[in-house]
Structure 1
Amino acid sequence: MDQTWILLGVAVILILAFLVTRYTAWSVRHVLPDLDIDTPPYSKIFGHFLEGIKYGIFDVQSRHYNLFKDKKVYGLYEFKTPVIVLRDLDLIKDVCVKHFNNFVDRRVLLNLDPPFHQTLLAIYGDHWKKVRSAVTPTFSSGRLKKMCRHIESNAKRLQRYLDEKQESNQEIELKEIMSRLTMDTIASTGFGLDTDCLNQPDNEFSQNAKAFTNPNVAVLIVTLMFPFLGKMMESVGFKFLPQRAAGFFEKVVDAALQERRESENAGKMHDFLDLMINAEEDTEGEASETDKGSGRLSRSEILSQALLFLLAGYDTVSSVLSFTLFLLAVHPEHQRLVQEELDQKLTEGDSVPNYEAVQSLTYLDQCLNETIRLFPPGFLSDRVCTEEITLHGVRFPKDMPVVLPVYAIHMDPDLWDEPKDFKPERFSPEAREARHQCAFFPFGHGPRNCVAMRLAQLELKVILATVLRRFDVLPCQKTVYPIKLSSWQLVANDGLWVRLERRSKK
């Protein structure tokens, strides 16, 4: 009897959800036509979501983008939510830079539970400006030079690990190895921790980090379709982020903060926590409205940025590292040019380059940028119009979500000749000068770009230079090229398999 009532209750909720969604979907159908914005054909209930299911998140973006080559913008419905997608590069520049004050905020699709609810991606207006100002000094040139020692230490560990793989003639899957390495680098540059996930992939830190970076996508989809059902799911325990992993990292960061405050090493570790301690409020708990403009950070603000440091720096950097090495393996002519540059510009006998050394590696930088163009971890970006404005003849109502289709722009044949090909020369100084600055913006554009961009670039260059100076990266029997991406994430379906040979010149 109890089961019957439960099933009946679920059925009633689903029917109500369907009716509510159908009603609200009809009620917003006029929004984009009233703005004179065209859309691809869509479902009255699901909007354009089903096309994403059919084609995958990358192909569907390009398909929609290519339908409107003569338009500055086009529209989409994310279930019942209308959004404006920008095509015109001058318009993108105006939204991100010139008229940034009208588009300060990002969309927040899910509100995380305290104390992780105040990341830079999830706060608005003056609150965002205050936290961003407190976090930005972490990534100054002076601090990056000091943080680089953590990256160098992990690069040496990677070198020893790869030596063993090469000596035993093992084929390696790059994404798995680079994910473990990146976790170690985040732990050390962020929190001063030596986790050794590279050699101990099943340790507690690594297991919880993997859980944290694999959220419950079902909660997100239900929330987009039926907002009230999403809240109900979270209230009964269906969370977007795994709670055990969240609790683990809350304890880790709290313990690291407490130990650092009491230690003689406070302010000397040259990591993310040092700056957070300097910016910490004298009081515990939530920041008051007065505090939110003071430049001091509350405990929850610090924990939120620590979480963001982990989530944003893990999969993005490991993906770029693994795709870059793989592309150089299947394009040996470009790998040789990188290695010639390393041999010419790096000090003989110094196997791991330092901060100053990697600044001169211009061709490696070109290869990195071309990889990120082909496989951008941030394949789209967004803003919310906070105050109505008309730009280039397009009216943006208040609260309208605005999407920047990064992947589609990076694949636009009108901007990039043979866009699917790997051509690092696209990023020579002359080519960059001739191209619109918004044709390539993998780290975002304007004041709300990625705050840790320079740290990510430093880590990428140090690790790549370390590997390529010591090894030739070569295809193997398991290598599959061209790369076939997963429909829902930036992952190669067949893995990124290579083998290593020790170079005669180190």
Structure 2
Amino acid sequence: MQILGLIEVPNWLVYTTLGTVAFYIYGMWPYSYWKKRGINGPRMLPLIGDLPSFMRLGFHGKMVEDFKLYGKVHGTYTLRSPVLVIGDTEMIKQVCIKRAENFTDRGSLGNETKPLDKGIAVLKGHEWKRIRSILSPTFSSGKIKAMFPLVEQCSDQLCNALVKSSNESVDIKTFFTNFTMDVVASTLFGLQINTQDDPNNDFKRHGSELFNIKLFSWKFLSLMLFPKIAIPLFKRFEITLFPKESFDFFQKVIHDALVEREASADSDKYHDFLASMVVARREAEKEGAKGLTEHEVMAQSLTFFLAGFETTANAMQYLAYFLAWNKDCQDRAYREVLEAKANHGGQVNYECLKSLRYLNNCFEESMRLCPPALLTDRVCTETTTVNGYEIEKGINVRIPIYCLAHDPEVWEEPERFNPDRFDEDSAESRDPTYLIPFGLGPRNCIGMRLAQMEVRKAMAEMLLKVEFQTLPETLPFEKLEFKPSGFLTVKSPIKLKVVPRSSESSD
């Protein structure tokens, strides 16, 4: 091929050049969005955005770096989609509370396909409002209190397992994942499985498989890179990210449990979420509203399982870790539990947990340092101006939970474990929006109270039975390395020593 009749250029070179230019234009086309609007942000690479930076620094490291370089409000992208990052607390309140009607939806990434497509975490608009209103009563204080005996039984099994492993180097999270698996099985499905004694049971095996989603599998990459094409195809052919065998297992568990509860005139006697959802469906239908279909119940059940299993185990792991590194804090929390137990008839009952102010401070501080979810988001459903920033319909707004909780302008020595910063006087003088591990506003975590009760009960019982200690191989906080994901998960297991307390001191 001749160019301008002067130079003979091989056809392959022309086509390669044109293909390269076309790929570059296609790959870079969306990345002018924030620049046109005068909003700073990191530079992007064609098609993959700043994914290499996230892989290099980790999700939390990348967010912190962007905060320092581009400010508390800046523009970035999730692959090719524009994202407005807001770390300004007044803007966060506008988005999550005051103007929440214009930010009702949350972003989704692969979980809008079956079986999670009807889950409360990804539903939008009126569908979300309907499901949330039906589910809210199942998470009331009365329902949580009714589930307390189930959590108590799982806590006893956890303590027994820890005592058996005492004076050894243990991967502490293993015990906590077994505990949260048992809690999910009992509070959600009404199953007693005791994973501490039988770690290879079918529920644990299939439950673990649900989390074994490969980030670089063709399914996940298709949803990430070409969502508008992949999502309809996945729905049309019922392709799921989950292993079929494990999905079928939980589908049968949920179906069988639903049939049993539907056949019972008193579903409340089961004290689990499936029974509560059956009751909620009946109540909705009595009032002429649409109840939950089996598909919707399946979606909620798996959503609660995925949201409450791994994240709660992580939260417990970090709390035990920080108490091990801060013996004075652990001793103070232990003495508080001991005294509270004596004041409540020798029981760490539901009311007793409410009096554990210092233990709660330790939990809050652990969640501040290591929030299980690094961010939350909202999708703008109606073009809205917030604090001078016009946010167009369809734009994803990211709220960086981790950055808020580590802001040196708000938290003195933000990388130090200091539960006293949550004393009443200190807490009242601080904007609570800087600590939102469970989200904020109408779309916050619906299971927040159950998770809090679960962790406090288990930790109170553990403190009475054992003491957590560090080992030579236990890395200090500043040396921990985390996986590059939206959840704060350590690359290597945290090893602790578990030392049993004398029976006299825990009685």
Q: Does the CA contact (< 8 Å) of 1:376 and 1:407 recur in 2? A: yes
Q: Which amino acid aligns with 1:254?
A: H
Q: Which runs of 5+ in 2 are unaligned?
A: 1-16
Which deviates more from structure 2 when the two are superposed, residues 139-148 or residues 219-228? 219-228
8 Å Cα contact 1:114-1:300 kept in structure 2? no
Larger gyration radius, structure 1 or structure 2: 2
Distance 1:18 1:302, change over 3 A: farther
The one-letter code sitting in structure 1 at the alignment partner of 2:154 is: N
Name the SS of the counterpart of 1:402 in structure 2.
Answer: strand
**Where does residue 82 of structure 2 map in the other structure?**
82
Aligned to 1:173: 171
| SS in structure 1 of the partner of residue 385 of structure 2 | strand
Tell me the number of residue pairs that the alignment of Structure 1 and Structure 2 aligns.
Answer: 482
Q: How does 1:397-436 map to 2 (within 5 A)?
A: 397-436=392-431
Checking the alignment, whether the CA contact within 8 Å between 1:86 and 1:403 is kept in structure 2 is yes
Alpha-carbon RMSD across the aligned residues, in angstroms, is 2.7
CA contact (8 A) 2:120 2:300 kept: yes
CA contact (8 A) 2:337 2:464 kept: yes
Partner of 2:327: 332
Contact kept in structure 2, 1:220 and 1:230, CA below 8 Å: no
Paired with 1:101 and 1:474, the residues of 2 have a C-alpha distance of 48
1:480 CA displacement:
2.3
Which position in structure 2 is the counterpart of 1:501? 499
CA separation in 2, counterparts of 1:150 and 1:265? 18
For residues 400-479 of structure 1, the aligned pairs below 5 Å read: 400-479=395-474
Aligned to 2:313: 318
Name the structure 2 match of 1:120: 120
Structure 1 CA distance for aligned equivalents of residues 304 and 20 of structure 2 = 38
State the TM-score, normalized to the length of structure 2. Answer: 0.89
User: CA distance change for structure 1 residues 34 and 462 in 2, over 3 Å: closer, same or farther?
Assistant: same
Q: Which one of 360, 374, 380 corresponds to residue 369 of structure 2?
A: 374
Q: Which residue of 1 aligns with 2:141?
A: 141
Deviation of the 1:349 alpha carbon: 9.8
Give the structure 1 partner of residue 9 of structure 2: none
Q: 1:361: Cα distance to partner? A: 0.4
Q: 1:105-149 CA distances to partner (integer Å, 9 max, x unpaired)?
A: 001222444443200111111110110111111111111111101
- Counterpart contact for 2:115–2:240, Cα < 8 Å: no
Q: How far has the Cα of 1:475 moved from its partner?
A: 1.6
| 1:293 Cα deviation from its structure 2 partner | 9.2
Distance 1:147 1:242 in 2: 30
Question: Could you tell me how far apart the structure 2 residues matched to 1:55 and 1:265 are?
Answer: 53
Instruction: Give the match for residue 261 of structure 1.
Output: 262
Structure 1: state its 5+ residue gaps: 1-14
Deviations 1:362-405 (A, max 9, x none): 10001001111111111111000000111111000011111011
Match of 1:280 in 2: 281
Which residue of the other structure, out of 211, 214, 218, is the alignment partner of 1:213?
A: 211
Deviations 1:411-458 (Å, cap 9, x if unpaired)? 211121111111111211111111112111000001110000000000
Offset at residue 232 of structure 1 (A): 9.4
Q: 1:68 aligns with which of 44, 49, 70?
A: 70
Tell me the amino acid that sits aligned with residue 256 of structure 2. Answer: A
| Gap change, CA 1:19 and 1:438, over 3 Å in 2 | farther
**Matching residue of 2:480:** 484
Partners of 2:267 and 2:276 within 8 A in 1 = no
Deviation at 1:319, TM superposition (A): 0.5
Match of 2:106 in 1: 106
CA distance in 2, matches of 1:315, 1:465: 20
Could you tell me how far 1:263 is from its partner in structure 2? 4.3
Distance 1:264 1:154, change over 3 A: farther
Q: Structure 2: which amino acid aligns with 1:64?
A: D
| Equivalent position of 1:243 in the other structure | 244
State how far apart, in whole Å, the 2-side matches of 1:54 and 1:144 are.
41
Do the aligned partners of residues 226 and 16 (structure 1) sit closer, same or farther apart at CA in structure 2, a change above 3 Å counting?
farther
1:488 offset after TM fit, Å? 2.1
Cα distance, 1:203 vs structure 2? 1.2
8 Å CA contact 1:130, 1:292 repeated in 2: no
Q: 1:439–1:120: structure 2 CA closer, same or farther, 3 Å change rule?
A: same
**Residues 23 and 243 (structure 1 numbering): CA distance in 2 closer, same or farther, change over 3 Å?**
farther
Offset at residue 222 of structure 1 (A): 3.8
AA of the residue aligned to 2:185 = A
Task: Measure the CA separation in 1 of the matches of 2:18 and 2:353.
Answer: 59
Letter in 1 for 2:137: P
Maintained 8 Å contact 2:63/2:400: yes
For normalisation by structure 1, the TM-score amounts to 0.89
Q: How far apart, CA to CA, are the structure 2 residues paired with 1:390 and 1:260?
A: 48
CA contact (8 A) 1:472 1:502 kept: yes
Pair 1:42–1:232, CA change in 2 (3 A): same
The answer on whether the counterparts of 1:119 and 1:308 sit within 8 Å (CA) in structure 2 is: yes
**How many Å separate the matches in 2 of 1:104 and 1:297?**
21
Instruction: Please report how far the alpha carbon of residue 233 of structure 1 lies from its aligned counterpart in structure 2 after TM superposition.
Output: 8.8
Identity among equivalent positions (%) equals: 31
Judged with a 3 Å threshold, the aligned counterparts in structure 2 of structure 1 residues 334 and 127 are, in CA distance, closer, same or farther, namely: same
Structure-1 residue corresponding to 2:181: 183
Rate the CA distance shift 1:20–1:374 in 2: closer, same or farther, 3 A: farther
Look up the equivalent residue of 1:33 and give its one-letter code. K
Q: Deviation at 1:227?
A: 3.2
- 1:287-366 equivalences in 2 (<5 Å): 294-347=289-342, 353-366=348-361
Superimposed CA distance per residue, residues 314-362 of structure 1 (whole angstroms, 9 cap, x where no aligned partner): 0111011111011101110100110111121113797762211101101
Quick one: distance in 1 between partners of 2:500 and 2:159? Answer: 11
Query: Structure 1 residues 16, 303: CA separation in 2 closer, same or farther (over 3 Å shift)?
Result: farther
Distance 2:233 2:64 in 1: 33
